[in-house]
Amino acid sequence: MVRELAGKGVEVDAEDGAGRTALTVALAFGQEAAARALLEAGAGVNAGTGRRPLHAAAEKGIVEMVRELVGKGVEVDAEDGEGRTALTVALAFGQEAVARALLEAGAGVNAGTGRRPFHAAAEKGMVEMVRELAGKGAEVDAEDGEGRTALTVALAFGQEAAARALLEAGAGVNAGTGQRPLHAAAMKGMEEMVRELVEKSTEVDAEDGERRTALTVALAFGQEAAARALLEAGAGVNAGTGRRPLHMAAERGLVEMVRELVGKAEILQLVQE
């Protein structure tokens, strides 16, 4: 039917309401044979003001089609409506084989004005890909749209192995203008990672975008072990210009932690006096 419509003069690169061509739609639904018929009919590999064919093929993990599109002159680092390149999309959907095909085709490891490839690989816990991107010059402390580095993203999704790979690659423990690595580790209750970050000179009382310290965040999520690790590291019981640790412990009903915080506050007051 695709061939018949093309033979009747259909506009092969016409867009739908989302700015997609028929080629993009075919690939988005995994219809490889239809996509090839469209290419035979002259479909543009870079056509469409919305999602691009390469992004659709990357998401579906259609490696051979990705290579074919590259061979036909596709813009490998073109962005979708979210500022993502096809490489970022491939990694966001765990399509490692496609990601490697794109890297072989010259995809930029730092390309894209939205989410970066590094962040997507970190979220998925793709340790070897994290190392590969770092080796190719990925900006290890680049921020996503929320001001988070790849290290923060890895920790926020509980990807400890990926986080360690990022630290090995030189990721900054205090980097990022949004959520910090220490806050993400505290939120997830990653006690050992909290200790490791603190040892690497993390600013233990730094605030996040909501003016909370990592201690407050740990308590907000009921992560008592992480909270104790922070207290051992010298976290301030009265630190933060937003919600305080004691308020969060009270809200969560952490009775022993409430007593501990009050006791530390009383000791601090005596020392100051």
Domain that holds residue 220: 203-273
Amino acid identity of residue 173, one-letter, is: V
Check if the beta carbon of residue 188 is closer than 8 Å to that of residue 218: no
Give the tens place of pLDDT for each residue, 92-127: 999 999 999 999 999 999 998 878 999 999 999 999
Q: Mean pLDDT of all residues in the chain?
A: 92
Residue 242: pLDDT band by 50, 70, 90 thresholds?
A: confident
The whole-number pLDDT of residue 270 equals 43
Final residue in a domain of this structure, among 80, 107, 134: 107
Residue 229: pLDDT band by 50, 70, 90 thresholds?
A: very high
Q: Which two tokens stand for residue 120?
A: 């997507």
The DSSP 8-state label assigned to residue 73 in this structure reads T
Does residue 144 lie within any of the structural domains?
A: no
What is the domain count for the chain?
2
CA atoms of 254 and 25, how far apart (whole Å): 52
Q: Which two tokens stand for residue 137?
A: 């010059």
The whole-number pLDDT of residue 240 equals 85
pTM value is: 0.88
Check if the beta carbon of residue 215 is closer than 8 Å to that of residue 231: yes
φ and ψ at residue 259, rounded to 5 degrees: -60, -40
Does residue 53 lie within any of the structural domains?
A: yes
242 or 181, which is more confident:
181
CA atoms of 64 and 69, how far apart (whole Å): 9
Give the tens place of pLDDT for each residue, 132-158: 999 999 999 999 888 899 999 999 999
Concatenating the DSSP letter of every residue in 74-127 gives --TT---TTS--HHHHHHHTT-HHHHHHHHHTT--TT--SSS-HHHHHHHHT-H
Residue 273: pLDDT band by 50, 70, 90 thresholds?
A: very low
Does residue 196 lie within any of the structural domains?
A: no
The whole-number pLDDT of residue 27 equals 97
Final residue in a domain of this structure, among 107, 127, 161: 107
Residue at token pair 């009270």: 250
Nearest to 117 by CA among 176, 58, 75: 58
**High-pLDDT (> 90) share of the chain, %:** 77
Final residue in a domain of this structure, among 84, 107, 130: 107
Give the tens place of pLDDT for each residue, 162-204: 999 999 999 999 998 889 999 999 999 999 999 999 999 778 9
The whole-number pLDDT of residue 237 equals 92
Does residue 58 lie within any of the structural domains?
A: yes
Does residue 124 lie within any of the structural domains?
A: no
Residue 1: give its domain's CATH number: 1.25.40.20
Q: Which two tokens stand for residue 155?
A: 């920790």
